[in-house]
Amino acid sequence: MKKVFLTFVFALLSVVGFAQTVWNVDPMHSSVNFNIKHMGISFVQGRFDKFTGTVNTKGDNLDNAAFDFAVDINSVNTGVEMRDKHLKSDDFFSAEKFPEMKFKSTSITKDKNNNYILKGSLTIKDVTKEISVPVTFGGVTKNQQGKTVLGFQTKFKVNRLDYNIKYDPTGAGVAKDVDVNLYFELVKQ
């Protein structure tokens, strides 16, 4: 009887120790933004209006978390319809052939300043590359509906030429580097 009880306790602790918490992106309180230098003198800002994502954690922080995000290319929005149509074309994102950008994490580690370094695979068009980005963890709280929410943000640069976005390869009119700013609030499931 004692062996059965101990086996049950160890099994329960194993399940609790490896229990995953799933967090889903709240699109009402999240944004996927970019800005890129234009003609070397100004910037064009934009965003993607449709995206999904989940984070799996082993608690209420980002230690050992797994990230999985997708962005709908057809939801690009710079506020200028003609430019948005051009961004969806083969000159840029080839949205008809490649309707999503994807990110899947491979690891996350906490740095000495209590921030995180997130590593993973970013896929744009037909190219997948490993990237490493800083993540600022905003914390965990309850929202107005009493649901538990988690927040984080990240800012990084992407060289668009690395992902076969070859329009203006000199970068004279449209810069090579794109500033990416992501702000996410996720709801505990």
CA separation (Å) from 112 to 115, 150, 172?
A: 7, 21, 39
Q: Is residue 6 part of a domain?
A: no
Per-residue pLDDT tens digits for 130-152: 999 999 999 999 999 999 999 99
Q: Determine the 3-state secondary structure of 104 from DSSP.
A: strand
User: Do the beta carbons of residue 15 and residue 8 sit within 8 Å?
Assistant: no
Q: Is residue 160 part of a domain?
A: yes
Per the structure, the count of domains in the chain is 1
**Strand-pair partners of 53:** 69
Q: Does pLDDT of 155 surpass 80?
A: yes
Q: Does pLDDT of 20 surpass 80?
A: yes
* CATH number of domain containing 133: 2.40.128.110
pLDDT score at 114: 78
pLDDT score at 111: 86
Q: Determine the 3-state secondary structure of 141 from DSSP.
A: strand
Q: Is residue 15 part of a domain?
A: no
Q: Does pLDDT of 67 surpass 90?
A: yes
Q: Is residue 10 part of a domain?
A: no
Q: Is residue 27 part of a domain?
A: yes
pLDDT score at 19: 77
User: pLDDT band for position 14 (50/70/90)?
Assistant: very low
pTM: 0.87
Q: Does pLDDT of 10 surpass 90?
A: no
Q: Is residue 14 part of a domain?
A: no
Q: Is residue 4 part of a domain?
A: no
Q: Is residue 123 part of a domain?
A: yes
Domain of residue 163: give its range. Answer: 20-188
Query: String of b and e for 164-186 (b: at least 16 CB within 10 Å)?
Result: ebeeeeeeeebbbebbbebbbbb
Q: Does pLDDT of 161 surpass 50?
A: yes
